[in-house]
Amino acid sequence: MKRYLFIILLVTVILLTPVSALAAINAAGNLNYSPANAKVFLNGKQLTFDQEPVLVENRILVPLRIIAESLGATVEWTGLRPQVTVQKGDTVIGLNIGSNEGFTNSRQIFFLEQPPVLVNGRTMVPLRFLAETLGAKVDWDEKSRIVSISDGDFMKSDFPEVTENGQGKPGADKYYKLYDLMVGPNYGPPVEEAKAYVLEQGLLKIVKDVQFTPTRFIEYGPTDTMVIGNDESGREKTVWLTKNTYTGDISLTGSVLMNDGVFKETIYSKLEEKGISRESVQKIYIAPYEKNQIYWFVFAEQENKRYYYCFDYKTGEMVIENIFGQ
């Protein structure tokens, strides 16, 4: 009977939910996401996915069914609109694709900063939200890019319980919003927002490409949105944008005319002078290290050593060199 009432409540509220709340996802044949490049372990065993975790708005999303069933829950699709019910014991939650509102069998409403989305036919949800809702604990190791989920006897006794004010048990009404796994303290705006901003501000006349670039050597650290195009004079230009996490304001962190800097081949030559082969270079790209300080970022691995370099984009001068390993 309780489950029946829960389903009625779920369907009723979904029908009353404005279609605009779902529009961003329904319109999102162009959903912007990127590979999370993260490994997920449950009780010490690595999970495998037919759809790898992704980053959406700097949050790690994982396939709902695999995580839920691995934690002993059942997953059921129901209703008129895309919606899914997850149940483990007496815990029942309802989620709607593209909506940040969810519902529990105790008639509580909760909110997610990142709603569930469909990626290649798989329902993807915020990892921390799902695992902790089902009674598990989640830990994130940024250096190794590993997410560790533990439940039952595998729970870490030293894992802190975080709350709205940093202590005690989380408040029920804001629990899920608080626990969304945010990757990096700052991030660039989504593709369409970035395009609109550079055109409205007159930074570019034509947009050719948009990418997300780390502004440090930490892959899950701060990222900017890099927009490449042509200015009013037809010159090829690249600009970088960041978005304030709290206010949503977009601002310019750097810009450069592509012909004003040294080319990639010049950087490869400088690396070869240091004995680092071209084949050893794992990543090479340009990004602002600080506001209007545009550098070539280089990461290379060779003979059990890791090399991190920054070269000034305009002069080619090496400004950062870090070497780790034997």
pTM above 0.75, yes or no: no
Tell whether the model's pLDDT for residue 259 goes beyond 90.
yes
Please tell me whether residue 215 adopts helix, strand or coil conformation.
coil
**pLDDT at res. 173:** 31
**117 vs 324, residue with greater confidence:** 117
**pLDDT at res. 155:** 44
Residues ≥6 apart with Cβ < 8 Å to 198:
204, 207, 227, 229, 239, 241
Above pLDDT 90, what percent of the chain? 36
Tell whether the model's pLDDT for residue 198 goes beyond 90.
yes
Q: Which residue has the tokens 């990461």?
A: 299
Rounded CA-CA distance 83/195 in Å is 32
- What integer is the mean pLDDT of 205-233? 83
**108 vs 71, residue with greater confidence:** 71
The mean pLDDT value of the chain amounts to: 77
**291 vs 108, residue with greater confidence:** 291
**pLDDT at res. 7:** 47
Tell whether the model's pLDDT for residue 6 goes beyond 50.
no
Tell whether the model's pLDDT for residue 254 goes beyond 90.
yes
Count of C-beta atoms within a 10 Å radius of residue 150: 18
> pLDDT-derived band of residue 200, with 50, 70 and 90 as boundaries?
very high
Residue ranges and CATH numbers for the domains of the chain are 2-179 (3.30.457.10), 191-259 (3.10.450), 261-325 (3.10.450.40)
**pLDDT at res. 218:** 53
Tell whether the model's pLDDT for residue 283 goes beyond 80.
yes
> pLDDT-derived band of residue 170, with 50, 70 and 90 as boundaries?
very low
| Tokens (6 digits) for 22 | 């779902």
Query: 299, 287 in Cβ contact below 8 A?
Result: no
> pLDDT-derived band of residue 11, with 50, 70 and 90 as boundaries?
very low
Residue by residue, DSSP assigns 138-192 as EEEETTTTEEEEE-GGG--TT-----TTSSSSPPTTTHHHHH--B-SS-BPPPHH
Rounded CA-CA distance 175/172 in Å is 5
User: Which residues are 277's β-sheet partners?
Assistant: none
Query: pLDDT digit string (tens) for 180-192?
Result: 333 444 578 888 9
Least confident of 32-36, 108-112, 245-249: 108-112
User: Which residues are 149's β-sheet partners?
Assistant: 42, 138
Tell whether the model's pLDDT for residue 245 goes beyond 70.
no
Rounded CA-CA distance 310/316 in Å is 9
Nearest to 56 by CA among 97, 1, 15, 93: 97
- What integer is the mean pLDDT of 284-306? 90
Q: Which residue has the tokens 């010049």?
A: 266
Query: pLDDT digit string (tens) for 111-166?
Result: 677 888 888 888 899 888 788 888 888 887 877 888 888 886 554 433 333 333 33
